[in-house]
Amino acid sequence: MDYKDAGVNIDAGNRAVELIKSHVQSTYSPFVLNRLGGFAAHVELPPGYHQPVLVSCTDGVGTKLKIAIETGILDTVGIDLVAMCVNDMICSGAKPLFFLDYIACHKLVPEQMEALISGMTVACRQAGCALVGGEMAEMSDMYHPGDFDLAGFAVGVVEKSKIIDGSKITPGQQVYALPASGLHSNGFTLARKILTAQARQKLGISDSDILTPTPIYVPQIQALLEHLTLTGIANITGGGLAENVDRIVPENVTVQLEKAQLPTLPIFEKIAQEGQISESEMRRVFNMGVGMVVISPEALPESAQLVRIGQTIAGPKGVVLS
């Protein structure tokens, strides 16, 4: 018996590294000091910070992976993995510096690894961060045939005096939404129960529709921060709109949202009707069309990608939808 017979193919791992090398190196900035293959990555802090604070985030893609595995569409979940981390990071106003991934699988298939990593590198380039390392673990006795899991880790930097934490949110500020592209990577345990392959066909939802990747909101938020003041930023993930916005609201401030102004997407209506799910449950599980929320004391320029949805008022800490 050898290692391959036991379930680990070293040659496949080496081939996977060769396939992903060009993808990974395409994300490197001048601040990445070493190249692929070392035991650790070395990334220099960009100049210009007086009190640099490192910001770190980690996340996964959840059971959206089940649909990716079933359909064989693997590149978009790589985008999701990066988005789930850097979209959380930008809520602090931090610039993403680098990203690392962990892929655990039953059997390492180099072409599958390339598809996953290629999606990650697309997202890293959009976010302006480098994919500096990762791990591919082949564990045939831990995962069922065909299964794999993903985890992502991001590190960024922000000037200490410019950290956005919601503490400067006061009554009289404006609340805006950045629209979602779809389900993003939340609520799929429920969505999968309802949107089976047969149901998707009946409802006219394609595989690519349900696997639409999470947008990388970093460039949009950074563009706003260059010229405007933002006092709060919330990534609308698990828990929906109200719970995620509530995370950044200080005491004695109520966020008053206008239901009629919220961006919506047809896929959520189809899920609610097919599964006979109440509106309150839908809003608690899914983003319902709102990808990010930003709060500002200034009136921001509205567009298709930035919609005013409410305001802050004096009152008990919380979010009210009217």
Tens digit of each residue's pLDDT, the chain (322 residues): 777 877 888 889 889 889 898 999 999 999 999 877 788 999 999 999 999 999 999 999 999 999 999 999 999 999 999 999 999 999 999 999 999 999 999 999 999 999 999 999 999 999 999 999 999 999 999 999 999 999 999 999 999 999 999 999 999 999 999 999 999 999 999 999 999 999 999 999 999 999 999 999 999 999 999 999 999 999 999 999 999 999 999 999 999 999 999 999 999 999 999 999 999 999 999 999 999 999 999 999 889 899 999 999 999 999 999 9
- Coil vs helix vs strand at 233: strand
33 inside domain: yes
- Torsion, Cα 254 258 264 268, to 10 degrees, reads 60
End-to-end CA distance of the chain: 67
Q: What is the tally of structural domains in the chain?
A: 2
CATH of the domain at 250: 3.90.650.10
- Taking the C-alpha atoms of residue 138 and residue 249, their distance in angstroms, rounded to an integer, is 43
Q: Clarify whether residues 19 and 150 are in a common domain.
A: yes
- Rounded distance, CA 59 to CA 151, Å? 6
**pLDDT confidence of residue 131:** 97
In this structure, are 38 and 117 located in the same domain? yes
Instruction: Give phi and psi for 76, each to the nearest 5.
Output: -70, -30
Distances (CA, A) of 26 to 16, 73, 295: 16, 22, 34
pLDDT at 133 (0 to 100): 92
- Whether residue 41 sits in one domain with residue 15: yes
**What is d(CA 188, CA 211) in angstroms, rounded to the nearest whole number?**
10
Q: Is residue 155 part of a domain?
A: yes
Q: What pLDDT, on a 0 to 100 scale, did the predictor assign at position 180? A: 98
204 in the same domain as 147 = no
Q: Which of 142, 162, 182 delimits the end of a domain? A: 162
Q: Which residues contact 271 (CB under 8 A, 6 or more apart)?
A: 191, 194, 195, 277, 282, 286
- 247 lies in the same domain as 307: yes
What's residue 186's pLDDT? 95
Q: Residues 153, 271: one domain?
A: no
Backbone φ and ψ for 177, nearest 5 degrees, come out as -120, 140
Residue 11: give the domain boundaries.
3-162
With respect to residue 144, please indicate whether it lies within any of the assigned structural domains: yes
Q: What is the CATH number of the domain that holds 152?
A: 3.30.1330.10
Residue 36 confidence (pLDDT): 78
The span from the CA of 86 to the CA of 290, in Å, is 17
Among 162, 194, 218, the domain-final residue is 162
Residue ending a domain, among 162, 192, 216, is 162
pLDDT of amino acid 52: 98
Predicted pLDDT at 108: 94
Q: CA 25, CA 84: separation in Å to the nearest integer?
A: 22
Same domain (yes/no): 223, 299:
yes
Say what the pLDDT of residue 5 is: 79
307, 263 Cβ separation under 8 angstroms: yes
Burial of 86 (0-12, 13-18, 19+ CB in 10 A): buried
**One domain for residues 154 and 192:** no
Asked whether 318 and 246 are in contact (CB, 8 A), the reply is yes
Residues 63 and 192 in one domain: no
